[in-house]
Each structure stands twice: as structure tokens, then as C-alpha cells.
Structure 1
């Protein structure tokens, strides 16, 4: 009988409280590196975030102090033969662990403490808001181990300066970008002194988002992210259609009504609800 490492029992922790899902990458013994088991658990977690009406926003973070996520588990790829299987898969088939890859249109906040490296950068570039502690650092090791930096690196180029993205990509494991520099270049949105401060800020932002119309928030997120794949005029046309779609949702009536009546709005979490 093959012994199962007890540390691999829960590669992802998932909790929900007051409309906020917290997803914790839970492999601190290997830098929270991504294994096939973790990817499977993450895909299920993101599916629940997207489809559970009681969840309004998600926070993703890493267990421990030293690492947020260090990318794919090299030992697991080697020992499982998973690398050979990936050759016959498309990007959409092979990579299903970040909110963007799993088509999550609810807000997701990345809370980064410690090192985010290589594949772990997917969570950074694919989340909506990135909050980091001052001990966070960012690195891409692909070229240093003979691999191509292409996927998360493209996300870096869309999130920060082109020069910063290329510096991380081309210098490989020789360069760790400090959190302060990442903040200057736009990769990090909020910089906090400690891990506790970063997690508190992420929770604060999540609670604020929960107070807004879920459908308006979702469609607004979709408009902005989709604009990255369209020309400016086409993006505006697409945004206009999303804006009009909200006119048929009950929240479009509830928002002004609650304001006029000086009360808290009661939002309808069903995206298919119509007046």
C-alpha cells in the first residue's frame, strides 16, 4: 500500500463567512507549490465561488509566512509523469487553477505574503485586487531552468510596466522584485507592513464589496477584464450592452429606491433575476 503524506490531505482550505470565501493554498512544506491535487481542489473551489449565490467575493492567500505560491511542484511533475500528459492538452485544458482560468466573474482579492514565483504569479495577475505585505517578493524562474516564461508573463505585461515584466522574465531566478517595487510598477495595488495587516485590509475590502450589488459588481468586472482583449471602441460597445442588461435586473430598481428611502439596499444575488 502506498503511504499518503498527511501534509497532502488538504492542499486547499476553503471557508465561507458573511459572503466572503477564503481560499488558502495549503502546502507550506513545499512553498505552496501547485500539484495535480491542488489544481483539482482549486478548480472545484472556483466553481463554487462562481455558482454559490451566498458568496459575493473571494480572497486567495498562502499558508505560512515564507511563501504565497512557488508555482508548479517540480517533484510532483517528475514523479507523476504529469508533464508528459500536458503536451497533448490546450492551455484551457491544462491550466484550471486561477480565477481567470476558471472564468470567475465575482471579485477576487489576492493577499500576497512571502514569495510569489513562476506559476504562483497566475494568482497575482489573474485576481482583481492585489494586496501585499512588505515581505512579499515576486520572481519568475522559467528561463533559468530551461523553460519558456509565456503565460503568467503575458499577464505581467498587462498588469505592470512592460520593462518590469521583461525584467522579471529575463533575469529569471537571479532577481526577486521587492513588494515596494512591485507596488510602484502597478503589480501590487495596496502595500501593507505585515501579513496580519495585509489580511485585515483584504477582509476590509471584501466586506465593502459585499455591500454592493452582486450583479452590478460582476458585470463591471466583466467589462473591464474583457476590454483587455478588445479594441477601445469595441470595448465601449460591449460595456454599453452590459450596462443595459443591468437595467432589467431588480438591483437597478433597488439601488435608487433604498437611497431615496434612506435604508440599506436588499440586493438580489440571482444574476438571472428580472423585473
Structure 2
């Protein structure tokens, strides 16, 4: 009987939470073309499912969240999408998620894996996580979009040390520089993820999505223009059941029950 190969990316949907796990541990979860295509399909499914409110991205195995692109079978983008299934904006059309995403990292977080982590809204790190851009030391560079996020999300000289000298960044330093939200002992990382899931699920999902979209849109505008702009998801929220539930819960002095509608 032929052995069935495991899926390169695992998707587990329970309730309002979608858990996405990179699943090539023998290759340190390096992203090849098959994994890239699988991520594209999963991001579409997650974004199109109105019941999903939180996305968790993690990596299988003990050694790495993701060691970057697979040099033996590098991702090339597909269907016009960028690498990472369209999430990164590298090499094609950028298609960011509408849902808030938590990225839980451990071990090696390199190159394209570092980029995927920076695409998340919340990053939680095990204390053994090592962030690195190996391009300069390896002498390889192609569609190096990761540098644009690194220089925006880290202090200038810290980012430049990573970019021009492949200087690694420990989980503790990443926390100190604000790149990650929290750092946990490796054994406690899953518990930390669950705590953050509870925090997000306690919030109105449509508000989280609308505020997130407005914040990201506003980054591309001068402050005055961002303040004066109107944002479709915020406008649409005014007529939702959750808006009415927020008012009722406030009047009745109780915790709101969000429907996502």
C-alpha cells in the first residue's frame, strides 16, 4: 500500500479559531512550491468563512517555525499571488488576511519565515526562537521583501544589522524591540497562544476587523488624510447586530455576546 504523504500545511478549524501549521519539519518547514500553493488555498478558505474570527499560524517539529524558502524547490508564487500564498506581498499580488492573525514561533525563524511572522498582527515567541535574515551571509537575494517589513518594525540599526550582516535576533531581544508581543518558555507557548485567543474572542470580531483594516489603510496615508478618511468596514458596522448587542450589553451591565453579524 502506497504511503500517504502528510499535507504540507495543516488546517484545523474549531469554533471561531483556525489553526494553520506549516508541516515539513524534516525540512525545517522551509516553504516549497507545494506548501506555497497550499497556503494560498487556506488563506482563501479562512478569509471566506465568516465564522472564523482568529487565525493561528505555527510550525511543526522541534527545530524551526520556518527556515525560509526551500532552495531545492523555491516558491515562485502562483495564480499571480505573492509568496506565502499571497500573504507577504513578495513576488506577486499581495492579499493580506482580513482576520486577525497570531503567529507562534519557535526555533529558527529565517528569511521568508521571518516575513510570514511579521505579517501577523500578534507574534508570540518561544524563548528559543532565533530571528535571522540569512541572505547577506549566504550570498543569495531575490525578491527580498522581508527587508521592508524589518526596517519598519524594528529600530533602524537593529534592522540594518540583520539586513547587511545577517545578525541574529534572539526572542528576548525581539521582545525588547517590540517585534514580538510576548515571550514564553517553550513548554508554555501553547498555553500563551490560548490566552491570546481568549483575549481576541472576547472582542467584537467585526470591530477588530474594521479597526485593523483602517489602521493598515491609514499607514499608507499622511496622518491628516488618515484621520479625515472614511473606512467602509467601520461604516458598515453601524447597522450590525453586534452594534445593537454592544448597546444592550452596556445598558444591562453584562458581558456582550458577539454573533459576528
Q: What is the CA deviation profile of residues 140-159 of structure 1, one whole-angstrom value per residue up to 9, with x for unaligned ones?
A: 11223231573011111121
- Which residue number corresponds to residue 191 of structure 1? 183
3-state SS of the aligned residue for 1:21? strand
Aligned to 2:91: none
Q: Per residue, is there more helix in 1 or in 2?
A: 1
Q: TM-score of the superposition, structure 2-length normalised?
A: 0.88
Indicate how the Cα distance of structure 1 residues 186 and 5 shifts in structure 2: closer, same or farther if over 3 A, else same: farther
Q: Which has the higher contact order (CA 8 A, sep 6+)?
A: 1
Q: Which residue of 1 aligns with 2:19?
A: 22
1:27-83 deviations in Å (ceiling 9; x for gaps): 010110001111111111111221112211011011112101011100113xxxx66
1:175-254 correspondence runs (5 A): 175-194=167-186, 196-238=187-229, 242-254=233-245
Counterpart for residue 48 of structure 1: 45
* Distance of aligned partners of 1:75 and 1:69 in 2 relative to their CA distance in 1, 3 Å threshold: same
| Secondary structure of residue in 2 paired with 1:165 | helix
2:145 is matched with which residue?
Answer: 151
TM-superposed deviation, 1:102: 3.0
**2:7 is matched with which residue: 4, 10, 33?**
10
Give the distance between the partners of 1:225 and 1:141, measured in 2 at CA.
Answer: 28
Q: Is contact 2:84–2:116 with CA below 8 Å preserved after alignment? A: no
Structure 1: which 4+ aligned runs deviate by more than 6 Å? none
After superposition, what is the alpha-carbon deviation per residue over 1:115-154, rounded to whole angstroms, capped at 9, x for unaligned? 1000111221110000101100001112232315730111
Equivalent pair of 1:98/1:123 in contact (CA under 8 Å): no
Distance 1:138 1:55 in 2: 29
Change beyond 3 A, Cα 1:199–1:181 = same
User: Which consecutive residues of structure 2, in runs of 5 or more, have no partner in the other structure?
Assistant: 89-93
2:232 & 2:71 partners in 1: Cα distance? 44
TM-score, normalising length: structure 1:
0.84
Kindly indicate whether residue 102 of structure 2 is the aligned counterpart of residue 109 of structure 1. yes
The Cα shift of 1:240 comes to 6.2
Superposition deviation, residue 164 in structure 1? 1.5
Provide closer, same or farther for how the CA distance between residues 148 and 99 of structure 1 changes in structure 2, counting only shifts above 3 A: closer
Aligned counterparts of 1:52 and 1:182: Cα–Cα separation in 2: 33
After TM superposition, give the deviation of residue 231 of structure 1 in Å: 1.3
1:137 and 2:130 aligned: yes
1:257 is displaced (CA, Å) by 0.4
For 1:149 and 1:231, how far apart are their aligned partners in 2? Answer: 27
Superposed CA RMSD in Å reads 2.3
Between Structure 1 and Structure 2, how many residues are aligned? Answer: 254
1:95 matches 2:83: yes
1:156–1:187 contact (8 Å) kept in structure 2 = no
Contact 1:47–1:102 (Cα < 8 Å) also in 2:
no
